[in-house]
């Protein structure tokens, strides 16, 4: 009861705090946005743990399930995510992984998945192989989401958790949907793990630089769901050919 109440109060605080921010996004393919009517097919969205406040606020009630650890530290986060409009699946590669995979398989075709691939223990911005394994096992593409805040406050936690300043800028830079080959072995998972980690760090660095500079990007869209949908549809027809500079392909 206390945990549920704490989650409800915390979610209200997150909405009020994050509601003061200015949001912009740069989408290499607008059709990957789960809030867009153009988004088709189930996807796995990944972003670093330190920036979880932004997607929690921006994309609730978008048919997303968040994969969270069974560790007690994640209990309050699970309640906040629930009140922000996310389904939650509890489990990780450390504990409850088989049960989490079973639940994900049961939900296959219904929910997108959201994963912080360096959580819940870190190291910071080091990608655990679980998201690559899931993408290969479930046949779902990965979408990488780099976030940046303008000079945020930083916690002393393992991930240097970022809290944006009231009224500041938040920026997001996302990849297109990235297909992972099915039934990868250990070597294949590690190969793609390294490539995905490198690209996610590049997108995050781009978003951070953009947030701090306050400059405009060609094709930028409002980050808030209700303001973004119309513009996303308008640019989708002309932006299909834009690609990430580095393709995730194994070396010959």
- pLDDT tens profile 197-246: 999 999 999 999 999 999 999 889 998 765 544 444 444 444 544 444 44
**Rounded mean pLDDT, 67-88:** 83
User: What does the pLDDT read at residue 107?
Assistant: 59
pLDDT at 248: 56
Instruction: Say what the pLDDT of residue 181 is.
Output: 97
Mean pLDDT, residues 17-43: 93
pTM of structure: 0.85
The alpha carbon of residue 140 and the mean position of all alpha carbons in its chain are separated, in whole angstroms, by: 15
Residue 158: Cβ-neighbour burial (10 angstroms; 0-12, 13-18, 19+): middle
Q: Which of 121, 76, 69, 65 is nearest to 91 (CA)?
A: 69
Q: Which residues contact 229 (CB under 8 A, 6 or more apart)?
A: 35, 36, 37
**Mean of the per-residue pLDDT values of the chain:** 85
For residue 251, the model assigns a pLDDT of: 46
Above 60 in pLDDT, residue 250? no
- Give the C-alpha separation, 242 to 176, whole Å: 9
Predicted local distance difference test score (pLDDT) of residue 111: 86
CB atoms within 10 A of CB 186: 9
Strand partners, 173: 26, 146
């Amino acid at each position: 009861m206390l945990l549920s109440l704490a989650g409800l109060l915390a979610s209200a605080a997150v909405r009020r705090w994050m509601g003061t921010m200015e949001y912009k996004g740069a989408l290499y393919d607008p059709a990957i946005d789960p809030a867009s009517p153009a988004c088709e097919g189930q996807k796995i969205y990944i972003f670093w743990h330190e920036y979880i406040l932004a997607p929690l606020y921006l994309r609730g009630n978008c048919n997303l399930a968040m994969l969270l650890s069974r560790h007690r530290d994640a209990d309050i986060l699970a309640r906040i995510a629930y009140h922000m409009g996310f389904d939650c699946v509890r489990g990780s590669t450390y504990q409850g992984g088989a049960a989490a995979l079973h639940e994900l398989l049961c939900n296959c075709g219904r929910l997108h998945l959201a994963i912080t691939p360096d959580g819940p223990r870190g190291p910071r911005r080091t990608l655990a192989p679980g998201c690559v394994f899931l993408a290969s096992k479930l046949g779902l593409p990965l979408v990488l989401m780099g976030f940046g805040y303008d000079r945020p406050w930083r916690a002393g936690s393992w991930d240097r958790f970022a809290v944006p300043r009231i009224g500041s800028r938040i920026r997001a830079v996302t990849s297109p949907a990235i297909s992972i080959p099915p039934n990868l072995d250990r070597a294949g998972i590690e190969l793609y793990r390294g490539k995905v980690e490198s690209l996610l760090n590049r997108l995050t660095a781009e978003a951070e630089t953009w947030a701090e500079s306050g400059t405009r990007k060609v094709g930028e869209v409002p980050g808030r769901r209700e303001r973004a949908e119309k513009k996303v549809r308008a640019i989708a027809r002309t932006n299909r050919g834009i690609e990430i500079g580095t393709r995730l392909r194994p070396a010959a």
